[in-house]
Amino acid sequence: MFALVRYLEDNCWAIVPTSHIKIFDPADINDFNKTTKYWVLWGDDGAYYQGQVFLQALLFLC
């Protein structure tokens, strides 16, 4: 599962695997709160930064 995330520090948007979001275990794609702040891995430096999840989606590869 993937999530559309807005990093709060620099207002940057990214699509990340939900496994890169700390303490985030949704039951389905609608099971999250858009106002909650999560710690999200930033790919370039390997550190976690606060962000908000705005959308989740499943990705199926054929």
Q: Is the dihedral of CA 6, 9, 12, 15 positive or negative?
A: negative
Contact 40, 7 (CB under 8 A): yes
Q: Is the overall model pTM greater than 0.75, yes or no? A: yes
Q: What is the mean pLDDT of the chain?
A: 86
Higher-scoring residue by pLDDT: 34, 42 = 42
Contact 60, 28 (CB under 8 A): no
Residue 60 banded pLDDT, cuts 50, 70, 90: low
Position 18 pLDDT exceeds 60 = yes
